[in-house]
Amino acid sequence: MRVLRRLRLPIGTNLRRRWRIPGGPPTDHPRTSYQTRVFGTPAQRWFFADGLTANASDTVVVQFLSIYAIALGATNTEVGLIAIANGLAGALALYPGARIAERVRSRKRVVLLGAAGIGRLTVLAMALTPLLLREPRHAVYGLVALTFLRWLGGSLSHPAWVSLLADIIPIDIRRFYVSQRMLGMTIVGAFAAPAAGFSIRAIGGIEGFQWVFAAAFALGIASTFCYSRIPEPPRPSEADRPRGSMREMLADGAFVRYLTATFMLHTTTMIVGPFFAAYLVRDLGATTAEVGLLGTVDLVAAVTAQLGLGFVVARYPTERLVRIVMFTSPLIPFVWLFAQNPWHAVFPHIIGGASWAVYNVVSFNLLMEYAPPRNIPRYAATHQMTVLVASFLGPTIGTAIVAVWGIRAAMAISSLGRLIAAGMMFLPVRRPASERDRAR
């Protein structure tokens, strides 16, 4: 605790104000019961249940889609195309998604049609792909196309999802609620990953992947049901709602700096990220069961880190926590360089699981605290678009690096790039004290 309090640059107050992201003062919500703070309203309960079931489904897709493609005969380049499809879909869909979130009366309906509708159906289609496309190469490209559609639906509805979250979760408990919801999602994922891995091995062959993806679809439908039960608060007509402004958002120097650091972090992460699964299976000789167990190691580390985060998330400024955790990311590819067999991968999985679990919570909290209420859809869309453009650009660069110099060179470049991204968060920017008030 004392280390967190003392982690400050040795600079004057005026300069410190220039590099700080004004994410609001730390809050320490009265220690009422856990049930009141997390399950106090029907909206909180159904949203929590939605997170658990959605993450169980998504864990299967995220952990095993690349391995599914490899089982169908995908090359490293084609594995990279799956990640590129994610970023391209997000880049195309997020700004239209922000406009939709600002104009519609029902944001819940947008989510049910997008991530909870199109997104779920594409998982079912992934399970059926080998039956519909008999040629293995065609099946691989079918998975790439379905990945694009899945992220397109999710990205179109993401701004509406964030905007509705801001309305249904009270601001005074939002930090704690978000951290506990993500903790619950991580625990569910810790069981889903090994269960999927052992199921694939027990069933065997391509059929194992098909049955597991069919189960992921069923869990996704359960998530859709939970989200449909969330009571949506009434929303004024478009004419009566304050309008967001892209110009005001881009004039926010601190937010632009944060976007730049985020773009650098995710681009350099995705230079090597999509190839870890292929490296683990092809170069280190891991089986699907070992991949599932390593996924569990990742998730156990995430659970442990998020449990610790629960004690500090409401007591320290979110921007300080973001800076701290960004400096742990460069260790992940650096430690991968020394892996010689599948179980050496335990160490980067522990670091990565803890680091990304904390980063996902605190970066989301920072966005929710930082964005002016009327501009939340645009801030959310721009932030997510930055991440997904990086997800498109990073694998493109990484594919070229791996093809010419190999995956170990990509690991070294990724580690250096992540370190530079963490340093960017300390660049000073000018942001007048009244600017945030004008944006509101």
**Residue 20: inside a domain, yes or no?**
no
Q: No. of H helices and E strands in the chain?
A: 20, 0
**Residue 321: inside a domain, yes or no?**
yes
Q: Do residues 29 and 196 touch, judged by C-beta distance below 8 A?
A: no
Distances (CA, A) of 356 to 217, 232, 261, 302, 370: 25, 31, 15, 8, 20
**Residue 3: inside a domain, yes or no?**
no
Give pLDDT, residue 431: 53
What span, in angstroms and rounded, lies between the C-alpha atoms of 161 and 51?
12
231-236 long-range Cβ contacts below 8 angstroms, 24+ apart: 231/42, 231/43, 231/168, 232/106, 232/107, 232/108, 232/164, 232/168, 233/167, 233/168, 235/105, 235/106, 235/107
Angle at 307 between CA 304 and CA 310, to 5 degrees: 150
Task: Identify which of 106-110, 184-188, 400-404, 433-437 has the greatest average pLDDT.
Answer: 106-110
Mean pLDDT of the region 103-111: 92
Q: Tokens 């999710």 — which residue?
A: 154
**Residue 305: inside a domain, yes or no?**
yes
Give pLDDT, residue 160: 92
Structural domain of 328: 40-230+243-439
Give pLDDT, residue 102: 85
**Residue 192: inside a domain, yes or no?**
yes
The band of 234, judged by pLDDT with boundaries at 50, 70 and 90, is confident
Q: What phi, psi does 406 have (nearest 5°)?
A: 100, 165
Mean pLDDT of the region 141-157: 93
**Residue 21: inside a domain, yes or no?**
no
**Residue 35: inside a domain, yes or no?**
no
Q: Do residues 224 and 47 touch, judged by C-beta distance below 8 A?
A: no
Q: What phi, psi does 87 have (nearest 5°)?
A: -65, -40
What span, in angstroms and rounded, lies between the C-alpha atoms of 27 and 381?
26
pLDDT over 90 (residue 178): no
Angle in degrees, 0-180, between the axes of helices 376-405 and 136-168, rounded to the nearest 10: 150
Lowest mean pLDDT, pick from 29-33, 120-124, 199-203: 29-33
**Residue 12: inside a domain, yes or no?**
no
Give pLDDT, residue 51: 95
Give pLDDT tens digits for 326-381.
999 999 999 998 888 888 889 999 999 899 989 998 998 888 877 887 788 888 88
Give pLDDT, residue 112: 96
Mean pLDDT of the chain: 83
**Total of domains in the chain:** 1
pLDDT over 90 (residue 52): yes
Look at residue 317 and give its three-state secondary structure: coil
Q: DSSP label at 148?
A: H
What span, in angstroms and rounded, lies between the C-alpha atoms of 131 and 138?
11
pLDDT over 90 (residue 231): yes
What span, in angstroms and rounded, lies between the C-alpha atoms of 440 and 426?
25
Give pLDDT tens digits for 280-329.
888 888 887 787 788 778 878 888 898 888 778 777 888 888 999 999 99
**DSSP H stretches of helix in 313-375:** 318-326, 331-336, 346-370
Query: Which residues neighbour 326 within 8 Å (Cβ) at sequence distance 6 or greater?
Result: 261, 265, 359, 418, 421, 422, 425
Q: Tokens 């299976």 — which residue?
A: 281
pTM to 2 decimals?
Answer: 0.75
Q: What is the CATH number of the domain that holds 151?
A: 1.20.1250.20
Look at residue 26 and give its three-state secondary structure: coil
Q: Do residues 187 and 306 touch, judged by C-beta distance below 8 A?
A: no
Give pLDDT, residue 33: 59
Q: Which of 210, 217, 235 is nearest to 117 (CA)?
A: 217
**Per the structure block, which two tokens stand in for 282?**
């092809």
Give pLDDT, residue 38: 78
The band of 109, judged by pLDDT with boundaries at 50, 70 and 90, is very high
| More reliable by pLDDT, 104 or 11 | 104
Residue percentage of the chain with pLDDT more than 90: 37
pLDDT over 50 (residue 16): no
What span, in angstroms and rounded, lies between the C-alpha atoms of 239 and 36?
36
What span, in angstroms and rounded, lies between the C-alpha atoms of 440 and 243?
10
Mean pLDDT of the region 179-204: 88
